[in-house]
A and B are shown apart, each in its own frame.
Chain A
């Protein structure tokens, strides 16, 4: 497995069949969704500025044990979505609407205290930059045991061997010594492993990973992804993977949501999506991945323009100015997200299906 940008994102045929079966079971209602996000909207209101809607009605499901990817470039609203689900957005200056159903409870309705009881216990999160995400003046051990003390009612003494076990399980060598170490004494990969150990300490049913490998170098990225995959499969934890890296998605996710400008533009299971990207944005993202087997000297194929060229979704397709195949209607009204054949697509002029 080599889930890096230099790898071919299309999975091999061997895993294909089993994965497809798994994906179909989820879709055909084999289980109730663990997390059901409906019409989630997040608006930032700063004094003296136009309110800005960073997430504009995002809906998706996560089933128990499933891995769902939220993919898009910087500023597409993927991190804001995850923070809104966790209730971690700052209390002032923003408005969150819609529903975030977790096992039948709308998390957006819960009080601060009720949400504190859920966070870290039922839903946990792994963040992007492992150095800045760990408290520099608290030993690693305490940063693990404090979750156990909080949610499992364990004493510090009883939690310490459990923390040791957790560090061992995420592949940190010499865990007894590492318990006493401070974050700056660990390498980047080790810190991310520690963060994963913290997140999984209380065996949450849902884990949200926000670009967990972005701050790491490529060889470590692969290790961390393999670890996440292994742990999630072992424990049956559902995983929401937030990333801009399609290589990560290819190696890990069962279902992929592609976000653009705060809305989902395409959804499908990873095999269909990678084999047959229908939205020009998804297509462009896949085409822009450098390939090792491409002839020497061949130019990369970027998506032209930047997010700042977006049109407002309310009156057009936000992606139209950067699109490779816009038609007239694209700048006149907003395309709806339409579901068919277990795919969802928001486009007036999709890329031709080749099969």
Chain B
């Protein structure tokens, strides 16, 4: 098991090295560029050259890459040029990460809390109204564009009804203490209940928006998986033992049906943490996805490099955790 984990981590380093090179070349081949993005139309050849020299962009790409790698090995990803000019790019990422984690976990909680029970009941009542309705519902969940749903929810619940805030992570004017950067958690830790509640309300709409796709995926996988397990001989054995419906559901159906669902949830965590660009942009939620959109628009290479490499790293690590978890819950994998 330990050898397996070490091997995967070594693989991850390889992935990151290759990705960093591709990313470096790809970013610099994009039309426009840092300097045009900052100076805009008023750029003169002289001011362009001066700024290119300032950021080292006048050197050949391979020299830039070598310098980049040298800096990164010392933990320095370079200064941001546009998102927060002058700030260390890594700092920007670390400062944005808690918001994204908070949002992702909340969205995932919604997706799992609804997707698994609904998937189970849809499978048990296959081809009934409940089943058909939830299958169609989950299809809509996947099919409706995130930005459309986001604007719709904003319009109805924030603007028309005024129940929830339109955007942001916390109301301005709330002088909340920051400890972890997870605003809800901070509010609870400092017993600033109004701040916690306020942050929670800010989370609801973006989290619901973000949850639609993982919900649909978890629902469908659960339904398909339960249907498959229901046909298994061991379920008939469990019934022949006269066990209660509760034990058959928990111990015999769900414990088996959850195996593929676990993998799916893990992959969704990876995807969510890598940045919910659209959702965060719509709701002005200052997380990684929002930073990614800004950095891309303003060609902030340093920030983009950190964010994309971090997303890849997170993805690989989450996948590794899923594999480990799989071994924990499936004895057949464990003893192999």
Write the residues of chain A forming the contact surface with B, with a CB cutoff of 8 angstroms. Answer: 86, 88, 115-121, 124-125, 127, 129, 132-139, 142, 146-147, 150-151, 182, 184-185, 195, 198-199
B-chain residues with CB within 8 Å of residue A139 when the two chains form the complex: 331
Nearest CB of chain A from residue B314's CB, rounded to whole Å = 29
Residue of A nearest to B128 (CB): A92
Q: Verify A120–B241 contact, CB threshold 8 A.
A: yes
Q: Verify B232–A132 contact, CB threshold 8 A.
A: yes
Interface residues of B in 277-336 (CB under 8 A from A): 329-332, 335
Q: Verify A146–B251 contact, CB threshold 8 A.
A: yes
A-chain residues with CB within 8 Å of residue B53 when the two chains form the complex: none
A-chain residues with CB within 8 Å of residue B330 when the two chains form the complex: 136-137
- Whole-angstrom CA separation of A137 from B329 in the bound complex: 8
- Whole-angstrom CA separation of A146 from B236 in the bound complex: 15
Q: Verify A133–B241 contact, CB threshold 8 A.
A: no
Residue of A nearest to B256 (CB): A137
- Whole-angstrom CA separation of A135 from B252 in the bound complex: 7
Nearest CB of chain B from residue A219's CB, rounded to whole Å = 24
Q: Verify B256–A135 contact, CB threshold 8 A.
A: yes
- Whole-angstrom CA separation of A136 from B245 in the bound complex: 19
- Whole-angstrom CA separation of A159 from B239 in the bound complex: 20
Count: A-B pairs, CB below 8 Å: 86
Write the residues of chain B forming the contact surface with A, with a CB cutoff of 8 angstroms. Answer: 232-234, 236-245, 247, 251-252, 255-256, 259, 329-332, 335
Which 8 pairs across A and B sit closest by C-beta, in order of nearness? A119-B242, A120-B242, A120-B241, A132-B233, A182-B331, A125-B240, A135-B234, A133-B233
- Whole-angstrom CA separation of A150 from B329 in the bound complex: 25
Residue of A nearest to B239 (CB): A88
- Whole-angstrom CA separation of A136 from B234 in the bound complex: 8
- Whole-angstrom CA separation of A135 from B331 in the bound complex: 11
- Whole-angstrom CA separation of A120 from B331 in the bound complex: 26
- Whole-angstrom CA separation of A237 from B288 in the bound complex: 68
| 9 additional contacts (CB under 8 A) given A137-B255, A198-B237 | A116-B243, A116-B245, A133-B236, A137-B331, A138-B251, A146-B241, A150-B242, A150-B243, A184-B335
Q: Verify B242–A185 contact, CB threshold 8 A.
A: no
A-chain residues with CB within 8 Å of residue B332 when the two chains form the complex: 136-137, 182, 184
- Whole-angstrom CA separation of A350 from B232 in the bound complex: 42
- Whole-angstrom CA separation of A199 from B256 in the bound complex: 22
Nearest CB of chain B from residue A151's CB, rounded to whole Å = 7
- Whole-angstrom CA separation of A185 from B332 in the bound complex: 9
Q: Verify A150–B247 contact, CB threshold 8 A.
A: yes
- Whole-angstrom CA separation of A137 from B331 in the bound complex: 6
- Whole-angstrom CA separation of A147 from B41 in the bound complex: 79
Q: Verify A150–B240 contact, CB threshold 8 A.
A: no
Q: Verify A138–B242 contact, CB threshold 8 A.
A: no
Q: Verify B247–A146 contact, CB threshold 8 A.
A: yes
Nearest CB of chain A from residue B232's CB, rounded to whole Å = 7
- Whole-angstrom CA separation of A137 from B256 in the bound complex: 7
Q: Verify B241–A119 contact, CB threshold 8 A.
A: yes
Nearest CB of chain A from residue B41's CB, rounded to whole Å = 64
- Whole-angstrom CA separation of A9 from B238 in the bound complex: 35
A135-B252, A136-B331, A137-B330 known; A147 vs B233 contact (CB < 8 Å):
no
Nearest CB of chain A from residue B242's CB, rounded to whole Å = 4
- Whole-angstrom CA separation of A124 from B239 in the bound complex: 10
Q: Verify B331–A198 contact, CB threshold 8 A.
A: no
Q: Verify B234–A185 contact, CB threshold 8 A.
A: no
A-chain residues with CB within 8 Å of residue B331 when the two chains form the complex: 136-137, 139, 182, 184
Residue of B nearest to A131 (CB): B233
- Whole-angstrom CA separation of A129 from B332 in the bound complex: 18
Q: Verify A133–B237 contact, CB threshold 8 A.
A: yes
Q: Verify A185–B240 contact, CB threshold 8 A.
A: no
- Whole-angstrom CA separation of A137 from B242 in the bound complex: 19
Please list 29 pairs of residues, one from A and one from B, whose beta carbons are closer than 8 Å in the complex, sorted by A's number: A88-B236, A88-B239, A115-B242, A116-B243, A116-B244, A119-B242, A120-B240, A120-B241, A120-B242, A120-B243, A124-B240, A127-B236, A127-B240, A129-B233, A132-B234, A133-B237, A135-B234, A137-B329, A137-B332, A138-B252, A138-B255, A147-B241, A150-B242, A150-B244, A182-B332, A184-B331, A184-B332, A195-B237, A198-B241
- Whole-angstrom CA separation of A188 from B234 in the bound complex: 15
- Whole-angstrom CA separation of A139 from B233 in the bound complex: 16
A-chain residues with CB within 8 Å of residue B241 when the two chains form the complex: 119-120, 124, 146-147, 150, 198
A-chain residues with CB within 8 Å of residue B256 when the two chains form the complex: 135-137
- Whole-angstrom CA separation of A125 from B256 in the bound complex: 22
A-chain residues with CB within 8 Å of residue B236 when the two chains form the complex: 88, 127, 133
Select which of B238, B255, B329, B335 is within 8 A of A185 by beta carbon: B335
A-chain residues with CB within 8 Å of residue B252 when the two chains form the complex: 135, 138
- Whole-angstrom CA separation of A239 from B247 in the bound complex: 28
Select which of B237, B244, B251, B259 is within 8 A of A127 by beta carbon: B237
A-chain residues with CB within 8 Å of residue B232 when the two chains form the complex: 132
Q: Verify B233–A116 contact, CB threshold 8 A.
A: no
Nearest CB of chain A from residue B330's CB, rounded to whole Å = 6
- Whole-angstrom CA separation of A123 from B210 in the bound complex: 51
B-chain residues with CB within 8 Å of residue A86 when the two chains form the complex: 240
Select which of B233, B234, B239, B259 is within 8 A of A119 by beta carbon: B239
Nearest CB of chain B from residue A123's CB, rounded to whole Å = 9
Residue of A nearest to B243 (CB): A150
- Whole-angstrom CA separation of A150 from B251 in the bound complex: 14
Residue of A nearest to B251 (CB): A138
- Whole-angstrom CA separation of A121 from B233 in the bound complex: 20
Select which of A119, A142, A146, A182 is within 8 A of B240 by beta carbon: A119
- Whole-angstrom CA separation of A150 from B240 in the bound complex: 12
B-chain residues with CB within 8 Å of residue A136 when the two chains form the complex: 234, 256, 330-332
B-chain residues with CB within 8 Å of residue A117 when the two chains form the complex: 242
Nearest CB of chain B from residue A298's CB, rounded to whole Å = 39
Nearest CB of chain A from residue B229's CB, rounded to whole Å = 10
Residue of B nearest to A185 (CB): B335
Q: Verify B242–A135 contact, CB threshold 8 A.
A: no
Residue of B nearest to A195 (CB): B237
Residue of A nearest to B236 (CB): A88
